[in-house]
Structure 1
Amino acid sequence: MASQTLATARAQHRPLFRYDGDGSLARIGLIYMASSVVMESEMWAMAAEGVSIHTTRIKLPKVTVEGIEQMMNAPQLEEAARLLGSAPIDVLCFGGTSASFLHGTAYDHALTEKLKLWAPGKKINTASTATLAALRAVRAGPIALATPYVDGVHQRAIRFLEENGHEVLRHRNLGIDKDTELAQVSLDEVYDLVRSVDHPDATAVFISCTNFRSAGALEAMETALGKPVISAIQASFWHCLTIAGVKGARPGFGNLMRDVTA
């Protein structure tokens, strides 16, 4: 009894510690492009206390069909997945949208199976799988599409969405092929791009690319358009939390996040 009293007294006089970013709720492992910077910062911005993000990077030569294929066929991908899978993470997320939809739905499914093999025992998520799950969650049908991609990659985004039942009623792309330049597009420009592609019959707007800013403007875009606006980064983070079974998002990042907001 005396020892319990002493322990209680010591606990009562213990100093207050600050939150240090520990992933006590969920640890998200992220495979991300070496030259990209947006997805990590937006995920941290959306993450509530108790959710942490841990990254392994792979090299993307150029944001073209050929450059993405080179990245996906390089041995670095397997090495990154195995390294990340060795950490005590709850979910492994492949943070490349175009890289996972490049050759359609079957290609994305095959990527998921490879990641399961390379990181056994981890829950697996890709940006493209997360996108489809997010569109289902907001009950989207026909959509509008905004991307920063070159034409060849943009057209594959349209094909992927339409083969999964989402007719793309209006779309626009910025034609950027350098990864570092994707992150330099301002939130004001993204906001204007999204408003320009909206269509009265579109049930949602999708913003593709995980090195393209949007999180800080999602709520403003939804208010302006009166419909869900889904970004690839937001969808990826939401889906990681969903399959981890935790409410680990801060408020203010779009209607999609309501069910996982802490």
Structure 2
Amino acid sequence: MNHMQKTYPQFMPDGSGDLARIGLIYIASSVVMEEEMWAMSARGVSTHTARIRLPKVTVEGIEEMMNAPELETAARHAAAPPIDVLCFGGTSASFLHGTAYDKALIQKIEGWVPGPKVTTASTATLAALRQVGAGKVALATPYVSTIHERAIRFLSENGHEVVKSAHLDITDDHALAEVPLEKVYDHVLSVDHPDATAIFVSCTNFRTVGAIAALEERLGKPVVSAIQASFWHCLDLAGVKGAKPGYGSLFKGYEEDV
């Protein structure tokens, strides 16, 4: 009888989420959040997405999306695989009507899909700002002024006074994703202020994570983006070290062991 153990060749990484699987409810016309989450994911972390339609990046467009029955459908579809955490990947959509609305959104999703831990981009942002010890912040967004002002209000009502901010007045979702990283870098630098303990960059279809390490090195303070915070909070809720190195001080203690 042969008791020798069978040996196999070295296989290539295939993206398997055997460490943690993240479910993502995301905008149908958006691309950046998925791309950046995969870029930050260490081996063993995967993201699985269901989509909802956003008519326009305005208050009215966001409200139409959030009131549509497809939000529940997307939540159920995102949680159909064996996921560990479910994230609602829309920052402005979750902060639009303030903190109570964001918390109610989490409770609504938990009611639809009991099982996975649930977060939103806005809840993750507040958790990330706590993690880096932020007080007063600076804010960079690509939004129109009406949404930008609501971001300021959301941060302020959660103890983060916004000491300086700027926005880009973009209403088209595809245009958000096309802003080059060099412009994002300059945009973030433009809002820095001596009183800002951290800088927050909002929007989940706005490129950020490739520039965060460079920005932190230049500014000497934490830079938190909505996508980075969402991914970090999913790792935190799942209890795994699942980040590749190089994506900001937020991930201290969460990077893969190599």
- State the TM-score, normalizing by the size of structure 1: 0.97
The letter for the 2-side match of 1:60 is L
**Structure 2, unaligned runs of 5 or more:** none
Name the structure 2 match of 1:147.
141
**AA matched with 2:32:** V
Question: In the alignment, which residue of structure 2 is the partner of 1:134?
Answer: 128
Paired with 1:180 and 1:118, the residues of 2 have a C-alpha distance of 30
Q: Which position in structure 2 is the counterpart of 1:69?
A: 63
CA deviations 1:198-226 (Å, max 9, x no partner) are 00010000000000001100000001100
Q: Is the 8 A contact 1:47 1:248 kept in 2?
A: yes
Hey, what's the Cα distance between the residues in 1 that align with 2:133 and 2:9?
Answer: 48
Task: Tell me, yes or no, if structure 1 residue 200 matches structure 2 residue 199.
Answer: no
- How far off is 1:85 after superposition? 1.6
- Structure 2 distance, partners of 1:188, 1:259, is 28
2:215 to 221, 232, 239: 221
Deviation at 1:87, TM superposition (A): 1.2
State the shift of 1:243 in Å.
Answer: 0.4
Matched, 1:4 2:7: no
Taking only the aligned residue pairs, the percentage that are identical comes to 67
Deviations along 1:154-213, one digit per CA (max 9) or x if unpaired, are 000000000000000000000001111000111000000000000001000000000000
- The Cα shift of 1:258 comes to 1.3
Q: Which residue of 2 aligns with 1:250?
A: 244
**Distance across 1 between alignment mates of 2:151 and 2:2:** 64
Instruction: Give the one of 51, 73, 87 matched to 1:93.
Output: 87
Contact 1:85 1:118 in 2 (8 A): no
- Matched position secondary structure for 1:4: coil
Give the letter aligned to residue 191 of structure 2.
Answer: V
Whole-Å Cα distance in 1 between the matches of residues 2 and 239 of structure 2? 38
| Structure 1 stretches of at least 4 aligned residues deviating more than 4 Å after TM superposition | none
Alignment check: 8 A CA contact 1:149 1:174 kept:
yes
How far 1:84 sits from its partner (Å)? 1.6
Identify the residue that residue 107 of structure 1 maps to in structure 2: 101
* Structure whose CA Rg is larger: 1
How far is the alpha carbon of 1:86 from its aligned partner? 1.8
Tell me the residue number matched to 1:190: 184
**Is contact 1:204–1:230 with CA below 8 Å preserved after alignment?**
yes
Instruction: Give the alignment's Cα RMSD to 1 decimal.
Output: 0.6
**AA paired with 2:231?**
F
Aligned residue number for residue 51 of structure 1 = 45
- In the other structure, the counterpart of 1:17 is 11
Which of 155, 165, 170 does residue 164 from structure 2 map onto? 170
5+ residue gaps, structure 1, are: none
Contact map agreement 1:84 1:119 (CA 8 A) in 2:
no
Which structure carries more helix by proportion? 1
Letter in 2 for 1:86: A
The answer for the alignment partner of 2:234 in structure 1 is: 240
1:240 & 1:259 partners in 2: Cα distance? Answer: 14
In the alignment of these two chains, the number of paired residues is 256
Q: Secondary structure at the match of 2:185?
A: helix
Q: CA deviation at 1:3?
A: 3.6
Partner of 1:179: 173
Separation of aligned partners in 1, 2:44 and 2:130: 27
Q: Which amino acid aligns with 2:65?
A: M
Distance in 1, Cα, partners of 2:188 & 2:251: 19
Amino acid at match of 1:178: D
